[in-house]
Amino acid sequence: MHDVPGDDVHPRPQFVRTAWRPLDGTWEFAHDDADDGRSAGWAADFPSSGTITVPFPPESDASGVGDTGYHPVVWYRRALTTADLDAAGRSPAAPRVLLHFGAVDYRATVWLDGELVGTHEGGHTPFSFDITEHLADGDEWSLVVRAEDDPLDVGQPRGKQDWLPEPHVIWYHRTTGIWQPVWLEAVPAMAVRSLHWTTDLPSATVRLEVSLDRVPPAGTSCHVVVTHEGRSLADTTVAVSRDRFTILLPIPEQENGQGYERLLWTPEHPVLLDAAVEVAGPDGSDVLASYLGLRSAAVDRGRFLLNDRPVYLRSVLEQGYWPDSHLAAPSADALRAEVQLIKDLGFNAVRIHQKFEDPRFLYWTDRLGVLVWAEAPGAYESSPTAIARTVREWLEVLDRDRSHPSIVTWVPLNESWGVQHIGATPALQSFARGITELTRAIDPTRPVISNDGWEHVDSDLLTVHDYEWRPDVVRERYGTAEAFRREVEGVGPAGRRVLLSGRADGVPVVLSEFGGIRWSPSGSGEADWGYSTATSAADFEERLSGLLTAVQASPVLAGFCYTQLTDTLQEANGLLTADRKPKLPIERLRAIVTGEDA
């Protein structure tokens, strides 16, 4: 399955049914600034005032709307036809139809022919509805979506979306409404709701957790086959009596006379194993294609460990923002190109910043071999409402993404966003500690960073944000364990304490934001922004090389994350321009990133 090319990649590449029908493309569209649509009956009688290209947000040019103003409510409509249902695989064996949304920011309400289908709250996570009962009669139906996204509600997890009318400093244009793929799938009377893969390298086993959408009838079974390059590694069938069950699959320690190690997933050798899962009952079978990677992620003795071996993290900060399509990816091919660029530049890891990235991006990090720090979009308000919203979306993304082998670190909070006074507020410390422990409870297989950058509580890694631009100062600050201990035990470079609670001894330290050198090859404008400024290509190269050399010389650091991959709107501090053109030859950037010119 994992040789699917380009834009044929399924919206959920680890959870693929053979037949599915994308619903992206042209929809009818209307703003509803006065929020009159519900009382006016738009769900049943939609007064289209224009069109939009889904899944691009209406603020983006790619949507065909390109209106970045305050529009707290928007509506969409398109027709569903029997041809759509047939393309989705509807048949006597698969009579039920599921309607999937990758993400709708922030609240979504969905109707078919004026009848309520369902609602969802959370702007960055997927949801689905069974629409079968709404398709009983006719051959065409009206699908209507209302999206509500208050631009001034700072209690919503919003990441880098600005609350001001125009982008300022490090914040960008808002994303409203549908911004990830929409699609249909037909399923049998009993269907698989989720699959989760967990590997245990010491015991050479894989655990598969399966969730069904109803209690299975007597006579139901689950058949699982795991293969590598067409050769079977595991093949088992079990009887199923519950809607949630676990299957343990042993993986042979020898394959064709070669050791188990050759199957391990690493950035250098991103081996993926194909998996086929079939749940069969008296009323039909649900067959899914999936994949997994054999690997472990841990920390010990001041180092990050992959497959129980130390790996130095060479990471880059990825905003996941595009000039024409904003938070939405232009295409799956663009996502592949982005991951390939990260590899070509010499990085072995990427920190997705303030965004739950498109699963197709994670597919390419899995396939091409890039370690991922998965970070939540933050709220800006400290309140019970903001906490509840943050936890809800965090749980949903853990459910969506925890089977990806490339994800090696979870980051629920960043720079105290949403917990601004954590240093002086025990309740906020309890929240940071609680969401960290909750993450470990659901997924004990990966390190967790409680609050990236500063004010850590019980983190598995200590991460520091430091935009000092002078290499000699950086070299001194991170040159010895004694020098860094003074920062950990005192006030860090951002004027915040690095550690509020938990231990520091033996915990890996990563410089998870630094650099941010501003330089525009086409000439700097007044709106360009960065943490320091280069005056020419030569100056940019000298500054970049000096900083990276100083960082890589540190015996304290277990890795780094450079800010940032691309220029983004007013930020001109990328290694690439906003249209993904390198500011120096890629070979030169790679030598600097990997330390080859040190």
Rounded Cα–Cα distance for residues 68 and 66 (Å): 6
For β-strands 557-563 and 313-318, DSSP reports them as: parallel
- Count CB neighbours of 382 within 10 A: 19
Nearest one of 244, 253, 160 to 570, comparing CA atoms: 160
Q: pLDDT tens digit string along 231-258? A: 999 999 999 999 999 999 998 876 665 6
Burial class, 329, CB count within 10 angstroms (exposed 0-12 / middle 13-18 / buried 19+): buried
238 backbone φψ class: left, alpha, beta (φ>0; ψ -120 to 50): beta
> What does CATH list as the number for 192-263+268-292?
2.60.40.10
HEC secondary structure over 97-145: EEEEECCEECEEEEEECCEEEEEEECCCCCEEEECHHHHCCCCEEEEEE
Structure tokens that stand for 298 in this block: 């841990």
The secondary structure of 18-42 as a DSSP string is: S--EE--EEEEEEE-TT--TTTTTT
- CATH entry, 311-594, from 3.20.20.80, 2.60.40.2470, 3.20.20.480, 1.10.3720.10: 3.20.20.80
pLDDT of residue 3: 36
Q: pLDDT tens digit string along 72-95? A: 999 999 999 999 999 999 999 999
What are the angstrom distances between the C-alpha of 335 and each of 109, 144, 369, 589? 29, 29, 14, 21
411 CB contacts (<8 Å, ≥6 apart)?
351, 373, 374, 375, 376, 448, 449, 452
Which residue ranges in the chain fall short of pLDDT 50? 1-6
Rounded Cα–Cα distance for residues 526 and 524 (Å): 7
Angle at 250 between CA 249 and CA 255, to 5 degrees: 125
The secondary structure of 83-99 as a DSSP string is: HHHHHTT-BTTB-EEEE
For β-strands 182-187 and 96-101, DSSP reports them as: antiparallel
Residue type, 329: A
Rounded Cα–Cα distance for residues 274 and 290 (Å): 6
Rounded Cα–Cα distance for residues 187 and 281 (Å): 13
Nearest one of 509, 361, 493 to 447, comparing CA atoms: 509
478 backbone φψ class: left, alpha, beta (φ>0; ψ -120 to 50): alpha
Helices (H), 328-412: 332-344, 359-368, 384-401
Burial class, 506, CB count within 10 angstroms (exposed 0-12 / middle 13-18 / buried 19+): exposed
Structure tokens that stand for 48 in this block: 């289209």
Rounded Cα–Cα distance for residues 304 and 447 (Å): 9
Domain 25-180 has CATH 3.40.50.720: no
Q: pLDDT tens digit string along 328-348? A: 999 999 999 999 999 999 999
Q: Where are the domains of the chain?
A: 25-180, 192-263+268-292, 311-594
Rounded Cα–Cα distance for residues 31 and 72 (Å): 8
Residue type, 438: L
Nearest one of 562, 564, 537 to 551, comparing CA atoms: 562
Nearest one of 12, 11, 13 to 1, comparing CA atoms: 13
Angle at 563 between CA 557 and CA 568, to 5 degrees: 170
pLDDT of residue 219: 95
Rounded Cα–Cα distance for residues 62 and 258 (Å): 50
Rounded Cα–Cα distance for residues 452 and 439 (Å): 15
Among positive and negative, which fits the CA dihedral 224, 182, 157, 304?
A: positive
pLDDT of residue 5: 33
Peptide bond connecting 478 to the previous residue in cis, omega within 30 degrees of 0: no
pLDDT of residue 142: 97
pLDDT of residue 1: 34
Structure tokens that stand for 114 in this block: 């004026």
pLDDT of residue 481: 87
What are the angstrom distances between the C-alpha of 326 and each of 66, 161, 180, 350? 11, 10, 11, 19
Mean per-residue pLDDT over the chain, rounded = 94
Rounded Cα–Cα distance for residues 63 and 57 (Å): 6
Rounded Cα–Cα distance for residues 164 and 150 (Å): 12
pLDDT of residue 257: 57
Confirm if 76 and 145 have CB atoms less than 8 A apart: yes
Three-state DSSP class for residue 50: strand
What are the angstrom distances between the C-alpha of 160 and each of 174, 377, 384, 516, 534? 8, 8, 21, 16, 25
Confirm if 551 and 302 have CB atoms less than 8 A apart: no
